[in-house]
Structure 1
Amino acid sequence: MTSGWALSEGIEPTDELLDLIKEVSSVSILAGAGAGKTEFLAQKANYLLQTGICPWPKRILCLSTKKEAQVNIKERIMKRCGATGNRFDSYTFDAFCKSIVDRFKNVLPVKDRPDKGYDIEFEQKNSNGKDKISFNDIRTLAIRIIKTRPDIAKIFSVSYSHVFVDEFQDTRFDQYELLKLLFQNNNTVMNAVGDINQSIMLWADASPTVFNDFRRDFSAKDKFLLKNYRSSNEIQDVLTCFVNFIQSSNSSITVNKKPKNCSIHVYNNEYEEADNLVQKLNGMIDSGINEKEICVLTKQQSSLYTSVLRDKLTQVGINNLDMTELQDALKEPLGKFFACLFRIYTDKSHSSYNEFCELYLELNNVVRGDEQESKLINKISDLISMYKLEIDEDPSVDCILSKINKILKFIGWSKFISKWGQYKSKLFRDKLWNKLESHLRYTIDITNSLPEASKMFVAENCIHIMNIHKSKGLEYKVVIFLGVEDQAFWKYSSENFEDKCAIYVALSRAKQEIIISTSRHRSFRCNARRDDSISNYKKVKEIYDFLLKNCLFTLTKYEK
């Protein structure tokens, strides 16, 4: 039954990969940076669905820590599998827990049961356990429901023949407890995929022993996925070397050859830093590198660490966006509808129109070729065309926002709420809308034309700026890692696994070039209460020492 199956486009058919795809037991997969973890999951799902190993009506469940990872894997599955991809359920852990609570909350005592139509609170202090619930509460309630009624777990184990857990190293203690309650000691095959050297979410209660626990609790085999499809050979060499540093700061392993495109730059202040980096970035863009292929990463507080650099980039006409807060908004279904409509209204974008139609059909549970397709698409297309003519007459920000809002009202919030549970919260909807509106106003204000603004809205024509933890799964030709100083790595020590992993994540986003930038002085760290503007390097010295002595980075110091 499996003999006629072959890998679809998107990944190199190595023996290592094919062995993993066809593995029938539960597995713990340790993958290297750039090894194609997400594409592997897409190909594995394609194999299970197309060959009938996951037979109808069985389904595959995929759980991710982050929203962007959840969206990415679902999109790849639909591309690989077509209609059979509808039997692939992709959730974030939080969304999955929420679905359990929403379906089965009535098994809880009335006094502990959240209200119907409760709002999600992102800060625990705002939760009251009734009409305002935090995600910590959601996870706790989901676990309590399964413990109260173990028979509910049977529903999930019967429904799902296979479970994928992406970015497994970031799994929290409570999330792992839920996995055990639902899928331990039954016939569900578990695939846990992650990189132990990217475990940067220990601050979020991720379990540092989760791989060992998984092997024990699910009798899982150890497998490896190591080939790097992302980075150049010299950066792969650096990453391999740095893995040894994560394991031991005293590692004597060195790179095979001095990398030409890996460097450290030490500036006197953030203004000198900005001037020099902008000069470098201008040269890169002039050489043909697209702005969106460049990323500036910081350990934390990206808006503060890059403020001077961003101002300088804007002054010289280089578009840039801080994606740290924006990324999640653009990945939301509302964010996608919003972006498509902005592009359709202001630019001749066939791809945005096609994406809008796909989203609209998905929202209405209609597939391509269905008899309802033409009626749905024609009606809303006529409305969009009418509003586009009105925008041509009045291309103001307020007019564009008004027409986006009118289309969304025509679609109906009730459909959003029915399809995506997070939109039950009016507070969530309002916050998301305000963020998207503010971003749209900014892009129009900062660019010279509406078509350029619509591209910048989705970060197509600008340098990306973000904190490290938002960069996982992304890749860029050039990565500038800015602010490697004690003040940013204030918890760093030789034993601090989390911070070492964060550095690895930053380095492994790069395909061609890594620039590490530090400034001896940063003005934003000085305020009325404390002057911490002088950068300290006592904690991070061993990082620089290893990159210079073992990874053979080139060092440039700018004289005082």
Structure 2
Amino acid sequence: MIATEDWTPADKLTLEPSAMTVVKSIKGCYALTAGPGAGKTEMLAQRADFLLRTQTCRYPKRILAISFKTDASGNLRDRVIRRCGHELATRFDSFTFHAFAKKIIDRFRPILIGLDALDSDYKIGEARVHRKQITFSDLVPFAISILESSDMVRNIIKNTYTDVFLDEFQDCTNLQYKLIQLAFLGTNARIVSVGDSKQRIMGWAGALEGIFKTYADDFSATPLRLYLNFRSKPRLLRLQNEIIRVLEPESVMPEGSLDGEEGKILIECFTDAQAEAVFIAGQIQNWLEVEHIPAYEIAILISKQIDLYAHCLMDELNRLNIPFRNEQQLQDLSNEPITQLLVDFVLCIYSEHEPKSWIKLHEKIATFDDIDHSSVTLKISSYIQKESKSYRQSKDYSNWWENIRFLLKTLKAKRLITLSPSYESVDYLKQLVLEFKQELESILSLEVDLIEALIRFSGDNAIRLLTIHKSKGLEFDSVIMMAIEKEIFFGKERDERCAFFVGASRAKRQLLLTHTNSRSRPNNHSGRWNVNRAPYHEFLNYCRLVQ
């Protein structure tokens, strides 16, 4: 145990005064707003370290963290483990909203009655089947129903968690907020919500406007703001600041923090999409071969409809043999816990230097409560050693799929479904495994080395091609934003301005914006399409102001 006054941030990190206030708070709730690159996730990890190592969260009480995406939830959990170790981190529960809701349903299912009643072996599928199956979107409403019906359940949750973290809170929906209210309003739980209203780009999915003020009023939370951005170079910070002046003037970064000429912003206009594609592919080739920027540090962002806007570019990248990942197809698949498990297992067999993969595989197995971890781990470890030895002798990896089938058979579906609430639909789980097989086979048709193919699937050695929405929470050395045009940013003005802000703030060192005078209709696309294009002058002018 460490005395609260003796605690210092793990890894000797320096935190902003407002961040340190939140991290070391022992009472009350906070609404912390912070822009991109402010270290919101790291701040939460440091707070967990403080609460656990000082016993401010006293055993056997727990900490609950709720994120919006599975990968964000896993990232926070991993950071907490690195900060305070496995033993203390066992009292840190990191869930998505849907995973937290399912935990409530599984534990208190008998409270559901009538049309909402569920059998103990209920599944999650595409349609409601009385007692037998609910849909993924039913999870939060069913959990709300349980909390509304039972004081006992609310008391159990109250007595379980002393602290709650709410990440990316600007995207919270009405039902998600109701779940939080029912579980924690009127309790002594210390709640910290973090997010950035300037990155509220999920309005189409029901994200509540003004959620931070609503939460601060309801929970008597103290509002605080982080201003510093530790991600981007000064010229890029000044660009972000110009957008902030319009979106949220009170959040403008202090001028002294923007000094310096580091960072690069370029704007290029082209006659058509083919000329744009040739230039971008050439620029990327230069970054890779001359500037030696790692491929995973380069991203191409498009507001929406990647396949319609980037088909010329993808052809050009293939022509130059530049590996890339179309994240519209792959990001969700590569972030699935089941595919990460399979990648780590295969890497353990076929790569000679993958201790991290073995550690992650072992940690995943340790989460399965109904197995003898020692015997299962030994069985899998012996299999890996045997297959690895065989591969070193033959250099033949053609049986990689048979190896995966061994792992799936050993762990069994009833254990694998615990990796994610959505895997309660065994058909969905099988579909993901099949998609992984098909995608890896597709990559292997272009990349003969299995390890390189796995790295490309995981995005570790490939250019990332993704929508602005998918880029949220990520960062790259060099970012290209294509099609800065009125015809693609056609939503509500503020929503599109927020989207542009999110995209521009992904870049750490350099940002390239492109637009064209015309874009030919893509083949086999019969929907609305504008051939003639108009630049989005507002967004381009932000850049010209700081060039």
Q: Which residue of 2 aligns with 1:94?
A: 98
CA deviations over 1:234-256 (Å, ceiling 9, x no partner) = 111211121112248xx9x9997
Alignment of 1:517 onto 2:514: yes
Q: Which residue of 1 aligns with 2:200?
A: 199
The Cα of 1:281 is off from its aligned counterpart by 0.6
Alignment of 1:266 onto 2:263: no
**d(CA) in 1 for partners of 2:93, 2:154:** 17
State the secondary structure of the residue aligned to 2:50.
helix
Distance 1:547 1:457, change over 3 A: same
**d(CA) in 1 for partners of 2:353, 2:57:** 38
Q: Which residue of 1 aligns with 2:302?
A: 298
What letter corresponds to residue 172 of structure 2 in structure 1? T
CA deviations over 1:182-235 (Å, ceiling 9, x no partner) = 101111111000011111111110101111100110000011122111111111
Q: What aligned pairs does 1:539-558 form with structure 2 within 5 A after superposition?
A: 540-548=536-544, 550-552=545-547
Q: Which residue of 2 aligns with 1:556?
A: none
Aligned partner (choices 331, 344, 352) of residue 348 of structure 2: 344
Tell me which stretches of 4 or more aligned residues in structure 1 moved more than 6 Å. Answer: 253-259
| Structure 1: unaligned runs, 5 residues or longer | 367-371, 553-560
CA deviations over 1:111-139 (Å, ceiling 9, x no partner) = 222444344346xxx44565442233222
What letter corresponds to residue 46 of structure 1 in structure 2? D
| Structure 2: unaligned runs, 5 residues or longer | none
Distance 1:116 1:506, change over 3 A: same
The Cα of 1:10 is off from its aligned counterpart by 7.1
Alignment of 1:6 onto 2:11: no
**d(CA) in 1 for partners of 2:53, 2:261:** 46
The Cα of 1:53 is off from its aligned counterpart by 0.5
The Cα of 1:20 is off from its aligned counterpart by 2.1
**d(CA) in 1 for partners of 2:468, 2:285:** 23
**d(CA) in 2 for partners of 1:419, 1:280:** 40
Distance 1:285 1:10, change over 3 A: farther
**d(CA) in 2 for partners of 1:231, 1:365:** 46
**d(CA) in 1 for partners of 2:360, 2:218:** 42
**d(CA) in 1 for partners of 2:530, 2:468:** 22
**d(CA) in 2 for partners of 1:456, 1:319:** 7
Kept after mapping to 2: 8 A contact 1:526/1:532:
no
Kept after mapping to 1: 8 A contact 2:417/2:429:
no
What letter corresponds to residue 243 of structure 2 in structure 1? F
The Cα of 1:95 is off from its aligned counterpart by 1.1
What letter corresponds to residue 167 of structure 2 in structure 1? D
Aligned partner (choices 481, 495, 499) of residue 498 of structure 1: 495
TM-score scaled by structure 1? 0.89
Aligned partner (choices 51, 68, 71) of residue 68 of structure 1: 71
State the secondary structure of the residue aligned to 1:3.
helix
Q: Which residue of 1 aligns with 2:292?
A: 288
Kept after mapping to 2: 8 A contact 1:98/1:138:
yes
What letter corresponds to residue 469 of structure 1 in structure 2? H
Q: Which residue of 1 aligns with 2:17?
A: 15
CA deviations over 1:140-194 (Å, ceiling 9, x no partner) = 1111111122331111111100100000000001100111111011111110000
Considering only aligned residues, what root-mean-square deviation do their CA atoms show, in Å?
2.5
Alignment of 1:431 onto 2:444: no
TM-score scaled by structure 2? 0.91
Q: Which residue of 2 aligns with 1:110?
A: 114
Kept after mapping to 2: 8 A contact 1:170/1:206:
yes
Kept after mapping to 2: 8 A contact 1:261/1:514:
yes
Alignment of 1:309 onto 2:313: yes
Higher mean C-alpha deviation, range 299-308 or range 266-275: 299-308
State the secondary structure of the residue aligned to 2:155.
helix
**d(CA) in 1 for partners of 2:517, 2:390:** 53
Q: Which residue of 2 aligns with 1:487?
A: 487
Q: Which residue of 2 aligns with 1:557?
A: none
CA deviations over 1:279-315 (Å, ceiling 9, x no partner) = 1111111211000000111111223322221221122
> Percent identity among equivalent residues?
28
Q: Which residue of 1 aligns with 2:361?
A: 356
CA deviations over 1:392-440 (Å, ceiling 9, x no partner) = 648355x211211112211222222356443321122112112211221
What letter corresponds to residue 140 of structure 1 in structure 2? P
**d(CA) in 2 for partners of 1:354, 1:452:** 20
Kept after mapping to 1: 8 A contact 2:295/2:463:
yes
Q: What aligned pairs does 1:417-428 form with structure 2 within 5 A after superposition?
A: 417-418=417-418, 420-428=420-428
Q: Which residue of 2 aligns with 1:223?
A: 224
CA deviations over 1:329-366 (Å, ceiling 9, x no partner) = 32332112111122223322323233322322333589
Kept after mapping to 2: 8 A contact 1:423/1:429:
yes
What letter corresponds to residue 184 of structure 2 in structure 1? F
Kept after mapping to 2: 8 A contact 1:119/1:131:
yes
